[in-house]
Amino acid sequence: MIKEDDVITFWIDMKRTYLIKVKKGKKFGSDKGAINLDSIIGLEYGSEVTLSTGNKAYVLKPSLIDIYNGLKRPSQVLYPKDVAYMIYSSGIQPGDIVLEAGTGSGFLTISLAYYLGEKGRVITYDIRQDMQEIAKKNIELLNLTDRVTFKLKDVREGFEESNVDAIFLDMPDPWNVAKHAYDALKPSGSIVIFVPTTNQIEKVGIALKNSGFIDIHAEELILREYQIKENATRPKNIGVMHTGYIIRGRKSLKSST
């Protein structure tokens, strides 16, 4: 059942999907009609509701795609296709401790917090306080504050933690953090890096190898969506193709000989 302060996805149609925190005494409005949020409290997810205009809408439990589309984001955030693979390939599990730099608008932070669960922890670094304030508000909206620690520091000077399970980097020059990441990780821990251009791949890969990482891969994911119509199903004319490159590796224990 939906309670006050729950975050819901309010779905009217493919072009009108909204992320809302349910509050008593508040009203939601759109060009298709309005509804008092009090009337949503107590409903089951998936329920159909009627707007003031007579149009129908549906109350859904938010997916990470809904959260991605509904976040306040003054800067570009990582796409869900990249975030999903970054988390999957890292090998992290619920309850782990991971580091992230930089925070940005917080979509990767939120995705990690969801995946790591109540006993996990995301420690996220950024050098811009204004961006972290936006990320904090996004995380507060989703009631995930107790899973995330924010730090305002340049990780090129090193991390404050050690023996963490994984490190995720989304920053302009991650090669300058490779040695610090090695020092902060557990043996066999993963580093996963996102960069937007090909000239960054080689710099990152060499820096990881020189710092003691093995099993290094550089990959690109392309997602293609289809429109579904009777006798006219085909790829959509417009879509997201190139977004960036994922580089990943694992910490090895350096030989003492």
Q: 12-57 pLDDT, tens per residue?
A: 998 899 999 999 999 999 999 999 999 999 999 999 999 999 999 9
pLDDT of res. 76: 72
pLDDT tens digits along 74-103: 667 899 999 999 999 999 999 999 999 999
- Residue 96 annotated as binding? no
Reported as a pLDDT band with limits 50, 70 and 90, residue 255 is low
- Residue 154 annotated as binding? yes
pLDDT of res. 49: 97
pLDDT of res. 116: 98
pLDDT of res. 256: 47
- Residue 205 annotated as binding? no
Contact (Cβ atoms closer than 8 angstroms) between residue 214 and residue 250: yes
- Residue 107 annotated as binding? yes
Give strand ranges (E) for the chain.
7-13, 16-21, 27-30, 33-36, 48-50, 56-60, 97-101, 121-126, 148-152, 164-169, 185-195, 213-219, 226-227, 234-235, 245-251
Reported as a pLDDT band with limits 50, 70 and 90, residue 237 is confident
Q: Where in the chain is the domain with CATH 3.40.50.150?
A: 67-251
Contact (Cβ atoms closer than 8 angstroms) between residue 192 and residue 221: no
Percent of the chain residues past pLDDT 90, beyond the cut:
88
**Residue 67: CB atoms within 10 Å:** 20
Among the CATH numbers 3.50.50.60, 3.10.330.20, 3.30.2390.10, 3.40.50.150, which is that of 7-62? Answer: 3.10.330.20
The whole-angstrom separation of Cα 104 and Cα 160 is 19
pLDDT at 10 over 60: yes
Contact (Cβ atoms closer than 8 angstroms) between residue 235 and residue 185: no
Dihedral (CA of 160, 162, 165, 170) sign: positive
Cβ burial of 51 (10 Å; 0-12, 13-18, 19+) is middle
| CATH, range 67-251 | 3.40.50.150
Provide the β-strand partners of residue 226: 235
Report the chain's mean pLDDT, rounded to a whole number: 94
- Residue 126 annotated as binding? yes
The whole-angstrom separation of Cα 233 and Cα 1 is 36
- Residue 194 annotated as binding? no
Q: Where in the chain is the domain with CATH 3.10.330.20?
A: 7-62
Cβ burial of 88 (10 Å; 0-12, 13-18, 19+) is exposed
pLDDT tens digits along 126-156: 999 999 999 999 999 999 999 999 999 999 9
**Range list of H helices, the chain:** 64-70, 80-90, 107-116, 129-141, 178-184, 198-211
The whole-angstrom separation of Cα 162 and Cα 159 is 8
